[in-house]
């Protein structure tokens, strides 16, 4: 699973701008929202888009899920719990790279 997590993380690092928003709070919000939505899409779960933020997460997640399906054939061997494990692992890696260990000095400034 670790290799799979690294593979998806590498894809997101190359493709997705949402991991590098302006501050820790919006990076955390995106990582949680978009990755959770990606998991739902990959697992074929019912998706209920209520808020504008849900719709935005869905838009990014839809693209990401399609990329994972296209580029990572091993995905289809995972059952639902495997997909969730993958998603949680990727969230953790992204939080590590883009938030917890980020060297960006502006991430925790309170003002713009």
Partner 1 sequence: MPLKLFCCDECIPERQNHVYIKEEGEDTTQYLPLSNIETIPGSLSERGCSYCGAKLVIGGVIKDCIQMIHGPVGCAYDTWHTKRYPSDNDNFQLKYVWSSDTKEKHIVFGAEKQLKKAIKEAFKEFPKIKRMFVYTTCTTALIGDDPKAVCREVEEELGDVDIFVVECPGFAGVSQSKGHHELNIGWMRDKIGTLEPEIKSEYTINVIGDYNIQGDTYVLQRYFDKMGIQVIAHFTGNVTYDQLRCMHRAKLNVVNCARSAGYIANELKRVYDIPRMDVDTWGFDYIKVALRKIGAFFGLEDKAEEVIADEVAKYEGKLNWYKERLKGKKVCIWTGGPRLWHWTKALEDDLGMEVVAMSSKFGHQEDFEKVIARGRVGTIYIDDGNELEFFEVLDNIHADIIFTGPRVGDLVKKLHIPYINGHAYHNGPYMGFEGAVNMARDMYNGIYSPMWSLAGKDPRVVQEL
* Interface contacts to partner 1, rule CB under 8 A: 13-14, 17-18, 20-23, 26, 51-53, 55-56, 58-60, 62-63, 96-98, 101-106, 112
| CA proximity to 39, closest of 93, 78, 95 | 78
Rg (C-alpha) for the chain, rounded Å, is: 14
- Looking at beta carbons only, is 18 or 68 nearer to partner 1? 18
Measured CA to CA in angstroms, residue 64 lies from 9, 77, 100 at distances of: 11, 18, 23
> How far apart are CB 105 and partner 1 at their closest, in Å?
6
> How far apart are CB 69 and partner 1 at their closest, in Å?
14
> How far apart are CB 99 and partner 1 at their closest, in Å?
10
- Looking at beta carbons only, is 16 or 84 nearer to partner 1? 16
Measured CA to CA in angstroms, residue 58 lies from 6, 68, 93 at distances of: 22, 15, 21
């Amino acid at each position: 699973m670790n290799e799979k997590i690294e593979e998806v993380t590498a894809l997101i690092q190359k493709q997705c701008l949402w991991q590098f928003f302006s501050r820790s709070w919006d990076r955390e919000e995106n990582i949680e929202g978009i990755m959770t939505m990606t998991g739902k899409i990959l697992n074929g779960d019912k998706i209920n888009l209520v808020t504008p933020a849900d719709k935005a997460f869905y838009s990014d997640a839809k693209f990401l899920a399609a990329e994972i399906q296209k580029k990572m054939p091993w995905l289809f061997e995972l059952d639902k719990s495997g997909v969730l494990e993958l998603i949680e692992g990727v969230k953790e890696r992204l939080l590590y790279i883009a938030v917890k260990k980020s060297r960006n000095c502006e991430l925790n400034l309170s003002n713009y």
